[in-house]
Amino acid sequence: MEASANYIRYSENIEVKQPDEEAISQKIVDSMARVNRLMYEKYRHAIRDAHAKSHGILKGELKIYDNLPEHLAQGLFSQPKTYPVIIRYSTAQGSIVPDKMSAFRGMAIKIIGVEGEKLLPDLANALTQDFLLVNYPVIPTGTIKEYLKMQEGLEKQADSGELFQKIEQQVAVGVQNVLAAVGLADDTNELSAPGPHILGDTYFSMAAIRYGDYVAKINVKPLSENVKEVSGKKIDKEEIEADENAFLTKLIADFFKSNTAEFEMSAQLCTNLEIMPVEDGSVQWPEEQSPYQPIAKLTILPQITFSPERRVYADDVLSFNPFHCLPEHRPLGNIMRVRKLAYETSSRYRHHMNAQPRVEPVGIDELPD
């Protein structure tokens, strides 16, 4: 797309507060916290309200491309620098379930060495910035109203223990099958298929963020041939059956025993707020209207991706939070705004109950081998 394209300029008026927004948001956060306390009682260890199970914790490097045109050289991407990053791959459930229960996958990226004051007052001076991505272009429950319906259904069943039985019975598929399990969605769609290779997926911000002077969604997709090759590749049934609990963890560990992988980060800029809304994260922004445009390359060298030390550091010590960012990358829209309190509440409880410090690394060496 030409640099002269009609990119919508960011202004505070882009966001529109929804009716009863505070009350609905509070209900979502309270309900998540109650389910999370049940999980604590189940494990006698506090886990994340969502994306509780990690599958790999990796160190890598994010290289912001040189000579980006003005509309892409924004915020973090305005300088062609290379940053160390920590990546945490996860699956979406707020409980620890076997990997064969295919689910939305998460890719959380913590960029280290980012100068400038950050959005959250508690982390204003941290040298990090987070991006949280999921392997689906939209969030099906794209407004807080829809999300609350899903969350309340989930809590009702979690309380009675039924949800977990149902999920186990039907080999649930993350959010979509949670929705199905609580009667809010059909479980016959494509997401119900056993998930493909976790490293071949494209991961999306799902909802919008501020992109400096503009508004964007972000994605990260396979770039080197070895990860392009496994994109969409179904995992053999035998491989799943051989290690039902941890085949995703093993896929990542086996791959990075000897391979280097490259991924590309891109931004899709909003050109029309009617067709590409920020207040409904369930609407896919058409790529014919505005394509994803490359902004940075992520390189991951061979390494051990799931040592006990790394897992404990990533699961119990670290937090990833979409609002932990430069003000130029503020998350936008009601489904994003509710995340501010949701992540804070989840992280605070987890750190408190596990008696762990909440740390923002200042250097990549803090990630244990």
Closest CB 28 distance from ligand HEM, rounded Å: 5
How many whole angstroms separate alpha carbon 356 and alpha carbon 54?
A: 18
Give the three-class secondary structure for 111. strand
* Dihedral (Cα; 68, 135, 114, 296), 10-degree rounding: -20
Closest CB 205 distance from ligand HEM, rounded Å: 6
Closest CB 29 distance from ligand HEM, rounded Å: 7
Q: Which is nearer to ligand HEM, 1 or 341 (CB)?
A: 341
Count of helix runs (H) and strand runs (E) in the chain:
9, 9
**DSSP H helices in the chain:** 21-43, 144-160, 162-170, 174-181, 225-229, 237-242, 247-258, 308-312, 334-353
Closest CB 45 distance from ligand HEM, rounded Å: 13
How many whole angstroms separate alpha carbon 322 and alpha carbon 132?
A: 6
Contact 339, 346 (CB under 8 A): no
Q: Which is nearer to ligand HEM, 68 or 198 (CB)?
A: 198
Q: Which is nearer to ligand HEM, 68 or 136 (CB)?
A: 136
* Residue 126 DSSP class: -
Q: Which is nearer to ligand HEM, 68 or 208 (CB)?
A: 208
Q: Which is nearer to ligand HEM, 43 or 239 (CB)?
A: 43
| Contacts for 202 with CB less than 8 Å, ≥ 6 apart | 135, 219, 220, 221, 222, 231
Q: Which is nearer to ligand HEM, 83 or 147 (CB)?
A: 147
Residue nearest to ligand HEM (CB): 106
Residues that bind ligand HEM (CB under 6 A): 28, 32, 48-51, 88, 90, 106, 108, 132-134, 139, 147, 205-207, 281, 319-320, 335, 338-339, 342-343, 346-347, 350
How many whole angstroms separate alpha carbon 12 and alpha carbon 349?
A: 32
Q: Which is nearer to ligand HEM, 191 or 335 (CB)?
A: 335
Closest CB 39 distance from ligand HEM, rounded Å: 11
Closest CB 139 distance from ligand HEM, rounded Å: 4
Closest CB 152 distance from ligand HEM, rounded Å: 12
| Contacts for 24 with CB less than 8 Å, ≥ 6 apart | 18, 144, 145, 148, 338
Q: Which is nearer to ligand HEM, 68 or 139 (CB)?
A: 139
Structure tokens at 49: 């309200």
Closest CB 348 distance from ligand HEM, rounded Å: 9
Angle between helix axes 174-181 and 162-170 (nearest 10 degrees) is 120
Q: Which is nearer to ligand HEM, 81 or 358 (CB)?
A: 358
Q: Of 262, 308, 195, 330, which Cα lies nearest the Cα of 60? A: 262
How many whole angstroms separate alpha carbon 305 and alpha carbon 59?
A: 8
Residue 365: CB atoms within 10 A of its CB come to 11
Closest CB 339 distance from ligand HEM, rounded Å: 5
Q: Which is nearer to ligand HEM, 154 or 338 (CB)?
A: 338
How many whole angstroms separate alpha carbon 48 and alpha carbon 141?
A: 19
Contact 58, 305 (CB under 8 A): yes
Closest CB 188 distance from ligand HEM, rounded Å: 24
Q: Of 347, 361, 350, which Cα lies nearest the Cα of 319? A: 347
How many whole angstroms separate alpha carbon 310 and alpha carbon 312?
A: 6
